[in-house]
Amino acid sequence: MCGIVGFIGKSNALHFVIPALYRLEYRGYDSAGISVIHNGRVFVAKKKGKISALTTYLSEVNFPSYANLGIGHTRWATHGEPSDYNAHPHTDSTGEISVIHNGIIENFLQIKNQLKHHSFVSETDTEVIPHLIEEEMKKGKDPETAFLDALEKIEGSYAIVMITSKDPNKIFCARKRSPLVVGIIDGVGYIVSSDIPSLVTFTKKVIPLDDDEVAIVSFDDVKFLKNRQRIYKQPIEIKWDIQEAEKGGYRHFMLKEIMEQPHVVEDTMHEILSVWDEIVVPKYSKILITACGTSFHAGAVGRIWFESIARKEVDIEYASELRYKDKDFQDSLIISISQSGETADTLEAVRIAKEKGAKVVGLVNVLGSSLSREADLVIHTNAGPEIGVAATKTFSAQLTALLLLALKLAGFQKSHKIVDELRRIPEKIDRFLSKNNVQDLAEEVATFKNALYLGRWISYPVAEEGALKLKEISYIHAEAYPSGEMKHGPIALISQDMLSVFVMPYDRIFKKTFSNLQEVIARKGKVISVITQGYENLLPAEVIKISIPQTDDLLSPFVSVIPLQLLSYHTAVYLGHDVDQPRNLAKSVTVE
């Protein structure tokens, strides 16, 4: 979940490393640091706080302003609290080896015990890495051999980048279950990074590392190794535009990304329909959806589509749970959904299922990511880079892909009437976005400490997504329930201090949800309802109504989720929270 970057080339490394760190800040933002080699010496600067704290610090200290080689790190703490000394890069006892790392070194305590004669200055697991390499170099090994030998002693997951004054013309990189990508900047040099989205402003030519691969990057060449043997890898082309990774006049990425949803649905639909006949779903007898967080909620909507449209029995499991289940995956089709394609739990679940005989369909937003490379069939959610930590537009893109996949599994043609209705969705989202009352509700929502999000059937996963959004960026406790479950316990919580948000489009089960809403009103609960335009009068006067455009019962999640995203956004802004980088969260969860 930390972000790592390195540059080597003809230009000033600081002009690449610092902007790339800002781009990676969504992966972690509790401390940051950089390291360069200048006049044959390793320099390190690190600071608790965001990248801006580091850059201020750099302007105050005597740090080299020019170097052709440098690395940088933005941290999301796992071992040791956020502090200057726990921030990366970490160095060895001589100060000649500087290392940044993303992941977890599981045997770091054992290694520390073996290196008792070394003094450690941080509480991190990472710090053992430069000391291990130092130990190997002391045996007379060159930096590359020492690096490779040290890797063999490390257990866990990692993306590691090292520079050393003992070989000042190289960046040493290694990957095991934590993403790492090498970008080629023609005529300038190379940039390595934790993820592809952070590279779009520098290059569109990238080479992702696979597990257990090493890259030794020099000024004019990259040497890839696997099991110490040289391998050759081809670059892939990133299709994203630089503008897509900018705020484009919006105050926050999250708002920009919410507003982009009409064209995201359109683009994802267009891309999938354009290759419709080429999509061949592997054979299967069982289907299981797996994902985490928002992607899981999209999957839960997808499950209903697979059942209703394709008449398929489908299981769904959190990826972080699936791996512990004693399941037989023979002839199973795993539908794995991930925006980043790098979520550690999702990747691990997929790998276990594949080992046990499953075929994998990956719904993924970042092409070139691990999931996109490991899946048997990739369906691209064409949402463009999502920078706001809270997922919004990728949820809509995932819904689009899942709906079309349901049609594919049903054996329907792309001329099916559901596709016609899907084609009308972008205009409906657009209509809602251009005129709604959600911002006006933020002040009142902000007064609550707790909220229930309620919905039945296809609106229940939407309620779950709404509750997740409110928790994530407003820090207001919110839980989702199928509204029929309310009377089995949660109703005890209803009072004027509890906000209930009902997701209740006027669909085939509206009347049932309506009864649950009455139960809340009878107990003096505060209610906001997301309801189909034209049916507001059915609800009691004291209910706050958010009207959404009418659509087919099955497609309502496309429009009902939008007000929930906006509600959490405006509430968080009202409360003065950092919307794009909420506390404790990171965009890409690459630790298990």
Catalytic site residues?
2, 587
Q: Could you tell me the two tokens for 269?
A: 């639909």
Among residues 34, 100, 88, 90, the alpha carbon closest in space to that of 64 is found at 34
Stretch that binds ligand F6R, among 10-18, 166-174, 195-203, 290-298 (CB under 6 A): 290-298
For residue 469, the minimal CB distance to ligand F6R (Å) is 7
CB 312 within 8 A of CB 305: no
Looking at 102, 203, 294, 382, which residue binds ligand F6R (CB under 6 A)? Answer: 294
Among residues 188, 265, 250, 177, the alpha carbon closest in space to that of 219 is found at 188
Residues whose CB falls within 8 Å of the CB of residue 296, separated by 6 or more in sequence, listed in order:
290, 316, 318, 319, 337
Looking at 128, 589, 590, 591, which residue binds ligand F6R (CB under 6 A)? Answer: 589
Complex with ligand F6R: residue 20 or 390, whichever CB lies closer: 390
Complex with ligand F6R: residue 382 or 588, whichever CB lies closer: 588
Q: Looking up tokens 């000033």, which residue turns up?
A: 12
Complex with ligand F6R: residue 67 or 467, whichever CB lies closer: 467
**Is residue 390 at the binding interface for ligand F6R, with CB under 6 A as the rule?**
yes
**Is residue 396 at the binding interface for ligand F6R, with CB under 6 A as the rule?**
no
For residue 391, the minimal CB distance to ligand F6R (Å) is 4
Complex with ligand F6R: residue 98 or 565, whichever CB lies closer: 565
For residue 589, the minimal CB distance to ligand F6R (Å) is 5
**Is residue 292 at the binding interface for ligand F6R, with CB under 6 A as the rule?**
yes
> b vs e for 280-311, b when ≥16 Cβ sit within 10 Å of the residue's Cβ?
ebeebebbbbbbbbbbbbbbbbbbbbbeebbe
Residues 309-348 that bind ligand F6R (CB under 6 A): 338-340, 343, 346
Complex with ligand F6R: residue 151 or 344, whichever CB lies closer: 344
CB 368 within 8 A of CB 196: yes
For residue 252, the minimal CB distance to ligand F6R (Å) is 14
Number of amino acids touching ligand F6R (CB under 6 A): 15
For residue 339, the minimal CB distance to ligand F6R (Å) is 3
C-alpha 592/C-alpha 590 separation (Å) is 7
Complex with ligand F6R: residue 27 or 101, whichever CB lies closer: 27
Residue 172 is inside which H or E element, if any?
Answer: strand 170-176
C-alpha 312/C-alpha 411 separation (Å) is 12
Strands 286-291 and 332-338: parallel
CB 100 within 8 A of CB 75: no
Stretch that binds ligand F6R, among 152-160, 292-300, 406-414, 442-450 (CB under 6 A): 292-300
- Closest chain position to ligand F6R (CB): 293
What are the CA-CA distances from residue 396 to residues 192, 317, 431 (Å)? 30, 20, 16
Complex with ligand F6R: residue 127 or 195, whichever CB lies closer: 195
Residues whose CB falls within 8 Å of the CB of residue 118, separated by 6 or more in sequence, listed in order:
92, 93, 131, 134, 135
Site string for ligand F6R, 406-445 (x = CB under 6 A): ----------------------------------------
CB 185 within 8 A of CB 174: no
Looking at 125, 135, 472, 580, which residue binds ligand F6R (CB under 6 A)? Answer: 472
Q: Could you tell me the two tokens for 6?
A: 């390195």
Stretch that binds ligand F6R, among 76-84, 142-150, 291-299, 419-427 (CB under 6 A): 291-299
For residue 386, the minimal CB distance to ligand F6R (Å) is 8
Complex with ligand F6R: residue 129 or 468, whichever CB lies closer: 468
Residues 88-127 that bind ligand F6R (CB under 6 A): none
Helix, strand, coil shares of the chain, percent, nearest 5, are 40, 25, 35
Complex with ligand F6R: residue 200 or 586, whichever CB lies closer: 586
C-alpha 535/C-alpha 176 separation (Å) is 54
Tell me how many degrees the CA angle 469-474-477 measures, rounded to the nearest 5: 80
Complex with ligand F6R: residue 132 or 566, whichever CB lies closer: 566
Q: Looking up tokens 């902000």, which residue turns up?
A: 446
Looking at 168, 189, 293, 385, which residue binds ligand F6R (CB under 6 A)? Answer: 293
Cis peptide before 540 (omega within 30 of 0): no
Site string for ligand F6R, 569-588 (x = CB under 6 A): -------------------x
For residue 481, the minimal CB distance to ligand F6R (Å) is 19
What beta strand segments (E) does 219-339 contain?
222-226, 229-231, 236-237, 286-291, 314-318, 332-338
C-alpha 459/C-alpha 465 separation (Å) is 10
What are the CA-CA distances from residue 406 to residues 150, 314, 364, 509 (Å)? 48, 11, 16, 22
Site string for ligand F6R, 343-372 (x = CB under 6 A): x--x--------------------------
Residues 498-557 that bind ligand F6R (CB under 6 A): none
Looking at 200, 288, 334, 391, which residue binds ligand F6R (CB under 6 A)? Answer: 391
Q: Which residues bind ligand F6R (CB under 6 A)?
A: 292-295, 338-340, 343, 346, 390-391, 468, 472, 588-589
